[in-house]
Amino acid sequence: MSSHHETSENVVIKQADFIESVADALQYISYYHPKDFVDAMSEAYEREQSAAAKDAIAQILINSRMSAEGKRPLCQDTGIVTTFVKIGMGVKWDKTDMTVQQMVDEGVRRAYTNPDNPLRASIVADPAGSRKNTKDNTPSVVHIDMVPGNHVEVAIAAKGGGSENKAKMVMLNPSDDIAAWVEKTLPTMGAGWCPPGMLGIGIGGTAEKAAVLAKEALMESVDIHELMARGAETSEEKLRLDIFERANNLGIGAQGLGGLTTVLDVKIKSAPTHAASKPVVMIPNCAATRHVHFHLDGTGPADLAPPSLSDWPEITREVGSDVRRVNLDTVTQADIEQWKSGETILLSGKMLTGRDAAHKRIQSLIESGEGLPDGVDFTGKFIYYVGPVDPVGNEVVGPAGPTTATRMDKFTDLMLDKTGLMGMIGKAERGPATVESIKKHKAVYLMAVGGAAYLVSKAIKKSRVVAFADLGMEAIYEFDVEDMPVTVAVDSNGVNAHETGPAIWKVNIANAKA
């Protein structure tokens, strides 16, 4: 404990210091991955043998370094702010007109509207109804604990929606095996959580307690290799190793393309529970794992030291000379039918964007017979599922990585049937009905690397809003791209890399261990 004020009676925490620290922390984590995470990802890169997964990890690491250098978000989804605040019982605040929630939210507001590095506002209010964007990413989720002492400890994270959406909860029987449940459940979570990442597992307490424990577990550093080296001592440590091994044996791999590393660490937090119960919650954290901790002792705002660029590995991606380069302005149906699942392609030319809200509106315009607005013509075009960050300075667009394509499955048959759309670009797997529809329409689904948003944005040379400007980041844009790297995930014959990749690597891993 660095607690020179521990015994002092008069520690006063200034409201302004708290707010400033929250704002600084959120800016910091928008572009700096934690060092332990970069180290673990680099180690995964070194040992990866699956070419597709290795390239995805390379993009994640290059993106990470570029973000640190450029001080721009790691991912276009800059997250929902989740904060654990531990307040010493002896803490006095200089002002009492704001609650802790309000102070955190003020920090969030300042961080997300910072003109030097504006972050994407992703929070919508009235979640069961109008889902209107609150414009400043508030409110955040705040957990408050009163603890002994007279300091304030804060752990703060910006949690991506793609990974949060894959959280799972189960009330197991007391004798059920938790590792077996994880092994069974992880494949059902697909790739929308942008692996490789971490699993936070909360065990015990009550249903809601287990969920909070799982989230808090994700605030810890990656250190599973240290645990492996010294050996498990407690039942929880044994469970961490068991889950880690079983999860990686599944062969899901980076971005679900099949490979050696699916999880970088498994974190567990537990609490005593009812004799009849064994609540378990699993929350994954993604390629954009973002969290930082700070401590206030009354001497001023937290001082977060920037990392050194030497913390990042020097990685260059080589695109083979045989890689297919595609001009989207002239591409034909015959061309796309040549593309094979698993193949890497570099895209140039014009594409349209659209995600949840735009699809919903397109669907109602088509169904009402009104038709699409002027300038929106998908004939022979590709759609990119993305909600970019606003640009700053001379940027064309802010970080603009793919969003989870699976959410657009319910609109895809309509899009392919009625709009002349040729193909789609997103991240993660498509459902069976959508793969069927892609095959039927001889279309293709390409994937970009989720979490490599700043890197992807550098391939975008022009951007303009085409329609639905009122939807903000969910509007339809036209992007003009140059050499944007994508992988064919579902080809025109319906061959699905998210199925074939993990199946092959599961067997490869089992054979290597036999």
Residues near ligand SF4, by CB under 6 A: 75, 77, 160-163, 193-194, 286-288, 401, 450-451
Helix (H) or strand (E) holding 46: helix 35-47
Q: Roughly what angle, to the nearest 10 degrees, separates helices 409-418 and 432-440?
A: 10
Question: What whole-number distance in Å separates Cα of residue 134 and Cα of residue 361?
Answer: 20
The least distance separating ligand SF4 from the CB of residue 313, rounded to whole angstroms, comes to 19
Residue 18 or 37: the one with the smaller Cβ distance to ligand SF4 is 37
Backbone φ and ψ of 381, nearest 5° = -110, 165
Residue 165 or 273: the one with the smaller Cβ distance to ligand SF4 is 165
Q: Which residues on neighbouring strands pair with residue 471, listed in sequence order?
A: none
The least distance separating ligand SF4 from the CB of residue 446, rounded to whole angstroms, comes to 16
Residue 108 or 336: the one with the smaller Cβ distance to ligand SF4 is 108
The least distance separating ligand SF4 from the CB of residue 355, rounded to whole angstroms, comes to 12
Residue 76 or 419: the one with the smaller Cβ distance to ligand SF4 is 76
The least distance separating ligand SF4 from the CB of residue 161, rounded to whole angstroms, comes to 6
The least distance separating ligand SF4 from the CB of residue 71, rounded to whole angstroms, comes to 18
CA terminus-to-terminus distance, the chain: 47
Residue 34 or 451: the one with the smaller Cβ distance to ligand SF4 is 451
Contact 427, 255 (CB under 8 A): yes
SS3 85: strand
Residue 163 or 261: the one with the smaller Cβ distance to ligand SF4 is 163
Residue 348 or 404: the one with the smaller Cβ distance to ligand SF4 is 404
The least distance separating ligand SF4 from the CB of residue 162, rounded to whole angstroms, comes to 3
Q: Write the burial class of residue 495 (CB in 10 Å: 0-12 exposed, 13-18 middle, 19+ buried).
A: middle
Length of the chain as a residue count: 514
The least distance separating ligand SF4 from the CB of residue 385, rounded to whole angstroms, comes to 10
**Residue 492 DSSP label:** T
Q: What is the DSSP string of 168-200?
A: EEEEE-TTS-HHHHHHHHGGGGTTTT-SSEEEE
SS3 98: coil
